[in-house]
Structure 1
Amino acid sequence: MSNSEYPDPVPSDPVPSELVPSELVQAALRVARAREAAVADVPLQAIAREAGISRSTLLRRLGGGRRALDDAVRAAGVDPGGQKPVRERAIEAGAALISGHGLASLSLERVASSAQCSVHSLYAAFGGREEMLQAIFLRYSPMVDVEAVVATQPADLDSTVRKIYALMATAIGREPRVMPAILAELLARPQDESLQPLVQYIYPRLFAGVGKWLTAEIAAGRIRDLPPLLLLQQMSSPLVMHLLLRPATRQVPDLPSPSIEEVCDTFADAFLRAVALPAP
């Protein structure tokens, strides 16, 4: 079924793509750009209207279906279908900018240019730069996955800690390197006003998820009664520092470099020895 109110008929004898009039190809491209959609996602009715003809006339010129039009668009150097929504393209484009050039490079204008969309569409998708940065952080940080792990309040402290470490390692080590770039900015310029909206977003959510889990573990008598902020830092800081420095230390000749699994196990063991209480 097409996006129009009528289904596109199955073409019985589609015309060769080279015989599709160029004005139909250009009409399809204009509508696709205006809608910020893939050509394949644009209804034939809209393309016909742009070309100044009826839908039935358009179908007749295409041999009964849109395959010839898609082939002609492809021959013109444009992928006719499969383009991701604006929000997805913007998150990926913003992540690449942050990874390559730092947080200062993240502007709506640069993201729009990279994602091949308009600034207006970014406002419609996110609301503004701060919300877009939050969306990028959630996509490339381990926060959502860690929240899912601790939400069940599992009784097995050991396995929960090890799952969290594995998620942290995956998020910080993945490309594009969004998490290392954000952490570097926070360490270098903690008072930067442009960072404060992200900080004000991260910490309350962190304490509502992981902080709540740690508090429950304290109440259950499984870990020492320490301030949740210190527990969070004791759990995350050694692993985070190792992962941030790992790409550099691996360039040093003859310097042993344990696997990520060994690193996670070592730091998890150290954290558990430091805070876990004997079972009653």
Structure 2
Amino acid sequence: MSEPDEVGVPDEIAQAALRTAERLGKDVADVPLVAIAQEAGISRSTLLRRLGGTRGPLDDAVRARGVDPGGRPPVRERAVVAAARLIGEHGLAAATLESVAAAAGCSVHSLYAAFGGRDGLLGAVFERHSPFPDLDRILERGDDLETTVHALYRASLQALGREPRILPALLADVFARPQGPTAHTLRRLVVPRVLAGLGDWLRKQIAAGRIRDLPLPLVVQQLLGPVALHVLMRPVLESVPEVDLPSTEDSCAVLADNFLRAVAVRARPEAGDGRTHGSPHE
């Protein structure tokens, strides 16, 4: 057993705490004492006895080694925030594990422990900042077609316009390099997410006869394509004095109505009646 440091904690215990926190991707303050004891090769009761019955001296010993024992958000949260900021400001290529670890104040090993690798990290960032969680909640409400489409456009524009602008940054890179690494990442992260939520809802609308029986990729493009282009172009057009842009709410209404006119099934006229009934988007 080594000599205790200035706060009375043996060095091997402090080092065991640091190693365990690194391995679990947690702050030292969030690591259970039993895990630290196992790493140090002693029992929990022995560890507590050497700490004087409280973990305060352990936190002090870790702090004396230049490491914050806790009080910050977990590594996973810090990493998602740091990666989102890097992507929003510099694009996807800037979000390497090394740069994210530096910005989040953790190690690359901690990122592997928390996410399993870069794909897991990017997936967490995308899920946090994409509009799809909001879209899923709208689809679960079971509103009629017109109400749902308008709500989808409103939620999409609101989510994509928030900072950090993750998806616009990714789309801009995809348009610049359609076969580049960002496009490959979006294929892995976005396409399965779209098909699992929005795609399933569109299939049901087609099966129910509310939407024309078109190839699903084209229907998805009809729905999401105008949103993506609007989000990419609006910041540019807002700086042009000659352009009078409609409000976001008015833009949502126009885009939603255009989609419904393009794909919604028209109601058939009743017998003896020259008028059509049902959908106003004919």
Q: Place the TM-score, normalised by the shorter chain, in its bin.
A: 0.7 to 0.9
Q: In the alignment, is the contact (CA less than 8 A) between 1:86 and 1:117 conserved in 2?
A: yes
2:243 paired residue number = 255
Q: Does 1:267 align with 2:244?
A: no
State the alpha-carbon separation in 2 of the partners of residues 104 and 189 from structure 1: 12
How many residues align? The count is 254
Q: What 5-or-longer segments of structure 1 have no aligned partner?
A: 1-20
Q: Could you tell me whether the CA contact under 8 Å between 1:28 and 1:39 is conserved in 2?
A: no
2:82 is the counterpart of 1:104: no
Compute the RMSD of aligned alpha carbons.
Answer: 3.5
Identify if the C-alpha distance between structure 1 residues 31 and 264 changes in structure 2 by more than 3 Å, giving closer, same or farther. Answer: farther
Taking structure 1 as reference, are residues 163 and 111 closer, same or farther at Cα in structure 2, changes over 3 Å only? same
* SS state at 1:111 partner: helix
Residue type of the partner of 2:223? M
Q: How far is 1:199 from its partner?
A: 0.7
Letter of the 2:161 counterpart = G
User: Would the alpha carbon gap of residues 253 and 41 (structure 1) be closer, same or farther in structure 2, given more than 3 Å must change?
Assistant: same
Alignment deviations for residues 206-253 of structure 1 (CA, whole Å, 9 cap, x no partner): 123212211211221212222211111111222221121111211122
Secondary structure of 1:258's aligned partner: coil
Which of 112, 117, 131 is matched with 2:106 structurally? 117
Query: For 1:106-156, what per-residue CA distance to the aligned partner results, in whole angstroms no more than 9, with x for missing partners?
Result: 21111111111111111122121122212211111112322333246x250
- Residue segments in structure 2 that go unaligned for 5+ positions in a row: 1-5, 41-45, 268-277
Shift of 1:179: 0.9
- What residue is the counterpart of 1:175 in the other structure? 163
Q: Distance in 2 between matches of 1:67 and 1:73?
A: 10
137, 140, 159: which one pairs with 1:148? 137
- The aligned residue for residue 132 of structure 1 is 121
SS in 2 for 1:191: coil
2:124 partner letter? A
| TM-score, normalised with respect to structure 2 | 0.73
Distance in 2 separating the partners of 1:155 and 1:40 = 46
Q: Mean alpha-carbon deviation: is it higher for 34-43 or for 268-277? A: 34-43
Deviations 1:132-188 (A, max 9, x none): 212211111112322333246x25001111221122112211111111111111111
User: Which residue in the other structure is 1:3 paired with?
Assistant: none
The reply to whether residue 95 of structure 1 matches residue 81 of structure 2 is: no
TM-score, reference length from structure 1: 0.74
Contact 2:79–2:101 (CA<8 Å) still a contact in 1?
A: yes
What one-letter code is carried by the residue in structure 2 that aligns with 1:128?
A: G
Q: Which runs of 4+ in 1 moved over 2 A?
A: 21-24, 26-34, 36-47, 53-59, 64-74, 77-82, 147-152, 277-280
Tell me the alpha carbon deviations over residues 45-104 of structure 1, each in whole angstroms, 9 at most, x when there is no partner: 969x99xx9756855xxxx97889989999xx9876432222211111111111111111
